[in-house]
Copies of this chain bind each other. A is one copy, B any other.
Amino acid sequence: MASFTVENYLKTIFQLSLKAENGASTNAISEALGTKAATVSDMLKKLDAQELITYKKYQAVKLTNAGRDIAVNIIRKHRLWEVFLVEKLDFKWDEVHDLAEELEHIDSAELVNRLEGFLNNPKFDPHGDPIPDRDGNIHRLNQSPLTELKSGESGYVTGVKDSSREFLQFLDAQNIHLGNKIEIVEIFEYDKSRTVITGGKTLSLSNQVCKNLYVKTEN
């Protein structure tokens, strides 16, 4: 059984690898985990010895299949627990991440599978991120940032790129939630801000907000 620490390393490497094609660098892992680079360097050797990652000195690391399986399972649990917290215990979507960081390490396939059924087999977590199935498959939605839409186009909110509490609370304040329809009324070249219509209201969204909001257009 992987320790909490090892599980966190693997999950972090998995997530960093989605961004950087060549794998996860020591420094990136260090920053993501809040652990010093020297410590990470040490740990990478151990993970390599356990054949959970492939590691060559001074090079970015990649997960082996075994490592990926563990990482994806942790993510599966994280996201299912987030759904539980929001759907059943009425937490808000900006309150659940840290709790899920703890719950994701509870070690029981039976528990997570039953939880999944209890929640009616959700496909996405409260932030729109896909929930891996029990075989580790992840069905990613074909979504794009709001910045891809042209004036006059519209889409439905499917997720967030930035899931910081600040951004989530901002969206709540603007009454923007997953599933909402958003129509682009006008794009201002000056600061790339957009005037949009959503939930019957007209509002202005900064470029930064638009970059961090994912929508699905009817194709």
Contact = CB atoms under 8 A, between A and B. Distances in A.
B106 A102 contact: yes
A89 B115 CA distance: 7
Contacts of A188: none
A189 interface: no
Nearest to A91: B114
Interface in A101-128: 102-103, 106-108, 111, 114-115, 118
A106 B108 contact: no
* Chain A residues touching B, range: 10 to 19
A95 to B, nearest CB: 8
Contacts of A114: 89-91
B99 A118 contact: no
A19 interface: no
How many copies of the polypeptide does the oligomer hold? 2
A88 interface: yes
A130 to B, nearest CB: 23
A108 B103 CA distance: 11
A40 to B, nearest CB: 23
Nearest to A106: B102
Interface in A76-105: 85, 88-91, 99, 102-103
Nearest to A102: B106
A195 B118 CA distance: 41
A94 to B, nearest CB: 13
Contact of A118 (B89, B102, B115): B89
B115 A107 contact: no
B99 A108 contact: yes
A149 to B, nearest CB: 38
Nearest to A95: B110
Given A91-B114, A99-B111, A102-B107, 13 more contacts: A85-B111, A88-B118, A89-B111, A89-B114, A89-B115, A89-B118, A90-B114, A99-B106, A99-B108, A102-B106, A102-B108, A103-B106, A106-B106
